[in-house]
Structure 1
């Protein structure tokens, strides 16, 4: 796999057309919910056959990931980031039994902690905190966040000496819509697109056993209002080259962290009220510049995330009916 990543990096370095086309992909999906690779290839003056083989190969090898980012506010869910001193080393088994578990793993920073991200319904945050205290371990810290922003990396920065963190443009978050009706088909579609945004609508309709035209209508009129947009991620470096870090930042200016969605490295930016969290695969050459930038936004804490973390998609089975989520913590 390392060899595949080296080849991918070489292609990106040599051909800026490939970089620009890849950066256009999530924009096209966010705006139209579909894209024509043939049209994109023509727009960027690149061979359709060549770019289709590149995307297919990188997608197959998990180098390229494009996924839909849920709009948790519209869905009526809250992002809950929790640090716990677990009772046992195998705490993750208990954590993954939770219906609204999203990801979890070990985090190291002034100690060793179980890190979890949960997405409970708005009125069930306290119930989840109580459950964790009773079943997993002592609560160290927790943070309530509002939204996850789509990653829109500027791949040109991969080949500059360093990323100009303080000069990245602040991203405007998509307008929050209210009273969006959704049902199981909408959430199933969103869950599949969250797993793989490049899935063909024909394949998706077949998997969901739904008429293609019906699905296309749902995607464009309902599901598109349930997402923040589509996110692009290129996994080009090994863990020892760019370990995954979590930064939690407090202050009046944390909204400016939205600019870091342009990071050329795999990045997830979570925004809350005067608090933000950011997961990033950060190479050592970028470390000081990045720390200098986030220090201008407020106080921060840093954790290194173990590579063997676990992840679950949007919990389709937690939907009790139209716009209704189950109030139970485990099934």
Structure 2
């Protein structure tokens, strides 16, 4: 019963009905099987990933002591072995620096000393927790979130220009709204004709050139990140950063200046991501599994049950072949 729930991705209620027993009997089998594998302390980790994921919809909760109702937005923080085979090491309740620091405080000092890099998104909360709990570890910021920040800047400039020039929100007939997807597309995926047409239309819609400047700043940042594909050479990174900062300093667009300040604050973690090639992609992938497990179980009332199922699904060395795969015969 436990393997049918854990490995075959079935709900406890469905498996209990198939075996003709109660939900509690099946659940006890799941707990006994999963805890035996998941309870031991994690093996040594070199590269750790930290990311948050939503544990359910936000809702009103009533305090049992005061009787006051508060709006609670529920989040969990996942800690992932990025370069090993252990998968999701733990899920802790909340997404503050305190909950991450408390989890590290429970680990052995020798275990923490072996962590060399920690990959995060652009979260100052997790950066603070890493600096406090793992002073010897180097921070690596995920490159995906840097590009996402640049794309958000382009969208913000486009909306501001539309509001300033037209006095309203964008519509389907507006040139900048029609080309909103093309503005977020990588420059190398545009032909010369498409680029020329894009700038020609933007010039007619935006006489000050703010949108075009935002697009150029975004592409200059992508040039910095593309140094990863060429081996992350230091002189190439310095040259690309110089071009990016020089262009941002010459622009009078406030959103571009804000982006440059953000990149400057995260410059060292960004350079480490380029030179090492590390990313937090595995943590982001586990967020999809967290949602998938929640849908299979039709929701969880107890957070501990959810974390147990999620950790099993995200720890590949604990999973066995599914029942359908076990029935297959070799050709």
Q: Higher strand share goes to which structure?
A: 1
> What range is the shorter-chain TM-score in?
under 0.3
